[in-house]
Structure 1
Amino acid sequence: MIARSLRFAAAIGLLLVLASCTLLHGRSIDRPLVYYVRNVTVMADARIPLDLIGGIDRRVSAAIAATRAPQGAERVVLLVKIDRLGFGEGARRHLAQAKLTVTATSVETGEPVAQGSFTVNSPTDDSRWVRQALAEEIAARIRFAFSLTTPRIRRAAPPARTISTRLKTDPASLVVPNTSPVPPRAAAAPKAAPQKPVIAAAPVAATPPPPKEMAVPPVAATTQPTSPRAPAQPARRAADIGSGTPVEQGASGTIRLRAECDPAVTSNCTAAP
């Protein structure tokens, strides 16, 4: 009986000590607080997955960076300690559950000014998203408790629209990569004697044919028939010219009956033709 009373008294004393520490070092977070939060640190033991710790730290840090500094607020840093990670009870027995303690410590004095314990449940039991969903729920609870701004989600710019004249019914064009196949590594072969480089002669440009001229019909050379020249005849005197001749008065001339010679002039010419 006495031992039972002693255990009960020890439990009461421990509760009073914890209550005094809470009253001396800070107050419970029962409503949104306004502090100038400068930084956050997430702590846990080796049983807590690292991706859960990193997800909480990344989300709370983004909220701190997006929050505008309130005027005249006390500067604090946050210490988030994950005490337990397990599953819920009753209807939440298949959902992940985390119990954590958040402490706000003053930058000027180094003493805790606010402290609170939270129990957060994951909204899904899908093993692919359970840790990230739980990290988002914990970060949302911390943002609400310390009046932090929810950061905006960056949206990727839509791809630029292009105009194409290809119809939807046309087959898609094939794109052949411009890569040459790499030959397999061949066995080492004996080195051949170096050969002189062959200098390729520059191609000679073909000479264009001369322009064709219009053909002119050939002109046959014509030769004039030449008559045999008569031998020179001596001149006749005017006294020798008789009347009734066809030669005019005062002129000298001869009438040849034959083309070869004139018997009146030439002595060796016969009179008969």
Structure 2
Amino acid sequence: MFARSLRIAVAMGVTLLLASCSVLFGRSIDRPLVYYVRNVTVMADARIPLELIENVDRRVSAAIATTRAPQGAERVVLLVKIDRLGFGEGARRRLAQADFTVTAVSVETGEPVAKGSFRVNGPTDDPRWARQALAEEVAARIRFAFSLTTPRVRKTLPPRTISTRLASEPPPVIVPNVRAAPPRAALVAPQAAPQKPAAPTTQNKVAPPPPREMAAPPVAEVQPPRPAAPAQPARRAADIGKGTPVEQGAVGTIRLRPDCDPAVTADCSASP
């Protein structure tokens, strides 16, 4: 009877101890919680690779950015601490394994409102993708625990090209890019054995071509000048009488014919 009462008392003490821990550190994460998660911080000691820490932080931050804020939910920030990084047991001895703790801290009060410890195993043992796959497993567990949205993978579409070619036209000919051949090293020609100097031979000198005669420039036909009409002597002032149209003291001539003047030239007839 006493032993049974002692067992009951020990069980109640353990229950009260767990309840006190739950009140002190916040409720444990045993099902998806709904909080307005604002940010995340991933921590670890020097034994954890920095690549794993950065990949977990990047994935959880992307999930927080794509999650719609629930109305009336408490605002919290997440503190993720990677405690251990190793390998599994049994059939998982070649797969990476990580133990980490997630604590949700209230933005208003700064007190922890939820806390949980998790263990995940990597899905592959390929050293090229082991850390990436393990980081995705850690981020997926955090997304599930705090009801975060899984971000979509962005697909890169090829750029659109606008073509004015008609459908009836033949397709354009595409010439592949041919890389230029690398310059080859110059081959060293083998040195020939020295030969005896040959007797000098006279070279036939080619006579220069005879100079060509230049054609004479064309000569324009020159017409002989026409004889000019003899100049008519001027009349003296004493010969000019009164009543003539020539004023006193002026010299002038009046010609009745274009070639000579009968008043001046004796042999010039009056009739043309």
1:84 corresponds to which residue? 84
Identity in percent:
76
Match of 2:74, as an amino acid? E
C-alpha spacing 1:73/1:166, structure 2 compared with 1 (3 Å): same
TM-score (norm. length: structure 1): 0.55
Give, in whole Å, the separation in 2 of the partners of 1:152 and 1:123.
Answer: 20
1:51 corresponds to which residue? 51
1:229 corresponds to which residue? none
SS in 2 for 1:47: coil
Give, in whole Å, the separation in 2 of the partners of 1:32 and 1:114.
Answer: 11
Give, in whole Å, the separation in 2 of the partners of 1:157 and 1:129.
Answer: 25
2:176 corresponds to which residue? 172
Give the CA deviation at 1:159: 4.7
Give, in whole Å, the separation in 2 of the partners of 1:54 and 1:75.
Answer: 24
Give, in whole Å, the separation in 2 of the partners of 1:126 and 1:19.
Answer: 43
Residue 119 of structure 1 pairs with residue 127 of structure 2: no
C-alpha spacing 1:106/1:159, structure 2 compared with 1 (3 Å): same
1:95 corresponds to which residue? 95
1:7 corresponds to which residue? none
Match of 2:145, as an amino acid? A
Matches for 1:37-76 after TM superposition, within 5 Å: 37-76=37-76
- Structure 2's unaligned 5+ residue stretches are 1-12, 166-170, 181-272
Residue 131 of structure 1 pairs with residue 131 of structure 2: yes
Which structure: larger Rg? Answer: 1
Following TM superposition, the consecutive aligned residue runs of length 4 or more in structure 1 with deviations greater than 4 angstroms are 13-19, 159-164, 173-176
Give the CA deviation at 1:38: 0.4
Give, in whole Å, the separation in 2 of the partners of 1:173 and 1:133.
Answer: 39
Matches for 1:1-273 after TM superposition, within 5 Å: 20-160=20-160, 164-166=171-173, 172=176, 174=178
C-alpha spacing 1:19/1:53, structure 2 compared with 1 (3 Å): farther
Give the CA deviation at 1:138: 0.4
Give, in whole Å, the separation in 2 of the partners of 1:88 and 1:19.
Answer: 31
Give the CA deviation at 1:135: 0.3
SS in 2 for 1:24: helix
C-alpha spacing 1:117/1:166, structure 2 compared with 1 (3 Å): same
Match of 2:173, as an amino acid? R
Match of 1:51, as an amino acid? E
Match of 2:22, as an amino acid? T
Give, in whole Å, the separation in 1 of the partners of 2:179 and 2:89.
Answer: 58
Give, in whole Å, the separation in 2 of the partners of 1:80 and 1:173.
Answer: 51
Give the CA deviation at 1:157: 1.1
